[in-house]
């Protein structure tokens, strides 16, 4: 069984709409890791991979709109981080579906998707929350 990611107050931006979407992303990531760890049947992998990638794109769009709304000064750099991540996530998703859930790919999912998301929320998204609260 793969290691799971846990939601904690350290990840809260203070904006319920963003925090709820982040919770969904953590949950979707855990679902993917469970699917990988349980033998990774193609249909289950495809369902979880597709959801995670689609939800990430939707969430990034919401978060970027929020940044524009509150005139976040780091918007351009933050958007580029999102774009770079989408490329990596889409590539890994394709490889998972092609090659199946190999140990090496599961490790990459943990590092390049899971750790990235958690660190991005803690390091970047919390700055948006601080800025937005300063604006209101």
The domain limits of the chain are 15-135
pLDDT in tens, the chain (136 residues): 457 899 999 999 999 999 999 999 999 999 888 888 876 577 788 888 889 899 999 999 999 999 999 999 999 999 999 999 999 999 999 998 898 888 888 889 889 999 999 999 999 999 999 999 996 5
The CATH topology of domain 15-135 is 1.20.120
Backbone CA torsion sign across 78, 55, 117, 101:
negative
Q: What is the pTM of this model?
A: 0.90
What was the pLDDT predicted at 1?
46
- Picking from 125, 85, 9, the residue whose alpha carbon sits closest to that of residue 93 is 85
Question: Residue 110 and residue 115: Cα distance in Å, rounded?
Answer: 6
Q: How many C-beta neighbours within 10 Å does residue 12 have?
A: 17
């Amino acid at each position: 069984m793969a290691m799971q990611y846990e939601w904690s107050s350290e990840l809260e931006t203070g904006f319920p709409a963003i925090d709820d979407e982040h919770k969904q992303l953590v949950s979707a990531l855990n679902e993917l890791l469970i699917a990988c760890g349980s033998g990774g049947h193609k249909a289950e992998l495809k369902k979880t991979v597709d959801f995670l990638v689609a939800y990430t794109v939707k969430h990034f769009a919401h978060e970027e709109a929020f940044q524009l709304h509150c005139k976040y000064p780091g918007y351009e750099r933050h958007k580029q981080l999102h774009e770079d991540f989408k490329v990596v996530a889409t590539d890994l998703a394709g490889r998972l579906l092609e090659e199946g859930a190999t140990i090496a790919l599961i490790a990459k999912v943990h590092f390049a998707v899971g750790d990235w998301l958690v660190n991005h929320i803690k390091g970047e998204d919390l700055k948006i929350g601080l800025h937005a609260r300063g604006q209101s």
